[in-house]
């Protein structure tokens, strides 16, 4: 499941119940995170695995860990709640309890634009649907979207200032192909 992009908040109680009771893995972003921010304790009772994909502002609403580094905030959040966390930003962080903290090496500042997180949410949900763990889907999804953004700029199709979600979509396949064809 992917929950959040374009959702709105008018049915918040139903959304919280879905987040809590659905047994399937779920990627939660955007309005799903905004709804959760008022009742973050819901995450303690989830029946299925959850991947949260907040940007720094959403993370602050979920877990205001004043004056801590992003890495410490992510680690403390994952100790408190049994979730996988993909904390978007410069060097996106992926965190899950009892797993190594992972930093994404791809992407650029142009990705900080509306709709980019929706692409990431969809990619992660698709990877989970193919059988990847939430942790691996988050790491691979962040890498592939970041790489697609880089390729778009390298090819002259966009600049950091003009990058749009469709630019990432246009080069997503090429990003995955680079990964599949790279020597190990």
pLDDT, residue 183, reads 82
Tokens linked to 95:
């965190």
Model confidence at 86: pLDDT above 80: yes
Question: In degrees rounded to 5, what are phi and psi of residue 47?
Answer: -85, -20
pLDDT > 70 in the chain, percent: 99
How far apart are the C-alpha atoms of 91 and 143, rounded to whole Å? 10
E strands in the chain:
2-3, 26-28, 50-52, 84-87, 93-96, 102-103
Mean pLDDT of the chain: 96
Eight-class DSSP state of 23: -
pLDDT, residue 15, reads 96
For 134-171, write each residue's pLDDT tens digit.
999 999 999 999 999 999 999 998 999 999 999 999 99
For every residue of 44-55, DSSP letters joined together read GG-SS-EEE---
Model confidence at 132: pLDDT above 90: yes
The domain total for the chain is: 1
The parent domain of residue 90 ranges over: 2-181
In terms of pLDDT, which residue wins out, 53 or 156?
53
pLDDT, residue 182, reads 84
pLDDT, residue 65, reads 82
Q: What is the CATH number of the domain that holds 146?
A: 3.40.1190.20
């Amino acid at each position: 499941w992917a929950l959040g992009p374009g959702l709105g908040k008018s049915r918040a109680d139903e959304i919280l119940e879905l987040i809590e009771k659905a047994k399937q893995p779920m990627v939660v972003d955007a309005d799903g995170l905004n709804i959760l921010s008022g009742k973050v304790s819901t995450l303690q009772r989830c029946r299925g695995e959850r991947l949260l994909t907040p940007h720094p502002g959403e993370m602050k609403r979920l877990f205001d860990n004043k004056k801590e580094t992003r890495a410490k905030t992510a680690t403390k959040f994952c100790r408190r709640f049994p979730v996988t966390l993909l904390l978007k930003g410069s060097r996106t962080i992926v965190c899950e309890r009892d797993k190594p903290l992972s930093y994404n090496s791809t992407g650029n500042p142009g990705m900080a634009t509306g709709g980019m997180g929706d692409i990431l949410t969809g990619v992660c949900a698709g990877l989970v649907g193919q059988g990847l763990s939430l942790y691996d889907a988050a790491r691979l999804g962040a890498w592939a979207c970041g790489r697609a953004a880089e390729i778009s700029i390298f090819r002259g199709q966009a600049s950091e200032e003009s990058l749009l979600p469709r630019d990432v979509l246009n080069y997503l396949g090429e990003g995955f192909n680079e990964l599949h064809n790279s020597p190990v």
